[in-house]
Amino acid sequence: MQNLLPIPWFARSHLLRRERQIASVLTRHGLGWLLAQVGWADRIPVERGWFRKMTPPAPPTQAEHFRLALSELGATFIKLGQALSTRPDLIPPDYITELVKLQDDAPPVPFDQIRCVIEEELGQSPEVLFAEFDPKPIAPASIGQAHAATLKNGRQVIVKVQRPGVARQIEQDLEILAGMAEWAAAHSAIGREYDLPALVDEFAFTLRNELDYHREGHNADRFRRNFRGDAGLYVPWVYWDLTTSRVLTIERVGGIKISDVTALDQAGIDRHAVADNSIRLLLRQIFEFGFFHADPHAGNCFVRPDASIAMIDFGMVGRLDERMQDRLLRIGLSIVRFDAERLTDDLYEIGVARSRRHRATLERDLGHLLDRYASGTLSDIAASQVASDITAMAFRHRLQFPTELVMLLRVFAMSEVTGMRLDPDLKLLNLAGPYLKEFWLKRRSPQAMVTSLGQTALDAAELTLNLPRRAARLLGRLERGDVEFNVNLESLREFVTQMQRMTNRLALAIILGATIVSLGLILSVNKVPWWEQYGQYLFGMGFLFSLGLGFWLVLSILTSGRK
């Protein structure tokens, strides 16, 4: 995906300045060792000291320093921390605990700057466009802030305005993160194991979507179309004549926050019905539409007087194709049936587990995990606990979840917490079981099978028609010798790297020995006329060079752990 705001060549100085700022903040929080892992050792401020800068702080405070550093670095890194807080398959639990504390807030932007953005985007001032516009923001955040307003026809709306300059700053930070990930992938085992460039690309794609308010408005419209005729969900209207990529005007919905059980009881609303409705809506989003709200916390869900749920903030959504929906259905049914073997197969199919060398160990651990719950009933099992146990095991086995699955685990956990506030007896797995079976049977109904067979027949016919041309093209490339095979052997790459290091040290040792011998020969040969005047300087320079080279060679061997 192309950058929304590409950085021109003359902006490289600002990029370097930002890199130094990032390095300074991370080093100040005791994270200089992290910079070395991504190839930024040369950017660590020297006043920290050579050895102190590379030593991580004690484990209990390291995660907290990491959170504080991300918060200090601004919008991009706050969002990065929030994204990492949903990846227990990638980072340890103590980091998760700290990163969930990251708040996406920021000092409010002065109203004069907000007015300028609205005038640039909509052509007129807010005083002209709206009957009323509250200059005090409702919720200032790192990317944008929301203001309450009233249209000329009296409708209450929320106007989200992007912070000035935030898009440029985010693009610079994303370019820096991409460079760090590329270096780590090429020079460190962790970077190769977790495919850091791909993770940064996914993060960049999500963050750029949040920068585009047009996309958020279209997400809201898509939700409304999907749930047309379903009285259980209300989606606010987007006013497109007052919406651009940097300004979003959306209907202000009323209602009671879904977590406010006292207010719901006072209003006479059946909390059990609301909880059941929220789980039903979630399952429809995932398994029927493949398009779900990825941030359904209590602040984004309101209960209306008719007990329907109104959802807001559609900037973060998840998408599932039919293949992933089918595999997730299988995973859900495998968990419900406590089938470890089938669950292992399902995890391999979605790419969570890549190497099959450890399949037996993975299946055994999954079996132990499911056995822990098999003695009870579904009504006794919390989906959030199952998700937590699975992700903890994924971290131990170095499994990497697809982004969609990570988002779903987070959504399920958040939805269950909200549902249990409404109905303490609610268990998501117990409630979801019948829905999962219903969706499974619907996907295998005669009508669905006919549709699938028809699509398969069309694909086969297209392949048959194109096969001769493709075969001829492949044979032509074989005859010309244009076919190349790319074999990637991780163990061989590590071996070559180690051999290069050994060769470099051997070459330095030879140079050091030759220098020492040369110095000795210089002292024993006949002196040329200028030796008395300049020889001592030449000998001194050679001696210092040999001493420095020898010290560096010994230090490099010691720091690498080799005798």
Phi first, then psi, for residue 497 (nearest 5°) are -60, -45
> How many other C-beta atoms are found inside a 10 Å radius of the C-beta of residue 142?
21
Identify the three-state secondary structure at position 64.
Answer: helix
Q: Which residue has the tokens 């990570």?
A: 406
Virtual torsion, Cα 325, 328, 333, 338, nearest 10 deg: 170
> Could you tell me whether strands 309-311 and 144-150 are parallel, antiparallel, or unpaired per DSSP bridges?
unpaired
User: Which residues are within 8 A (CB) of 17 and not within 5 positions of it... i.e. 6 or more apart?
Assistant: none
Residue 405 is inside which H or E element, if any?
helix 403-422
Q: What does the alpha-carbon distance between residue 107 and residue 377 come to, in Å, rounded to a whole number? A: 49
Query: Which residue in 199, 239, 226, 376 sits closest to 293, CA to CA?
Result: 226
DSSP H/E element including 317:
strand 317-319
Contact, 392 vs 94, CB < 8 A?
A: no
What single-letter amino acid sits at 521? L
Residues annotated catalytic, as ranges: 295
Whether residue 212 contacts residue 58, with contact meaning beta carbons closer than 8 Å, is answered with no
Amino acid code (one letter) for 49: G
Estimate the share of the chain in helix, then strand, then coil, as percent rounded to the nearest 5.
65, 5, 25
3-state class (DSSP) for residue 426 = coil
* Residues 6 or more apart whose Cβ sits within 8 Å of residue 188: 37, 38
Nearby residues of 376 by Cβ (< 8 Å), 6 or more positions away: none
Main-chain phi, psi angles of 152, to 5 degrees:
-65, -25
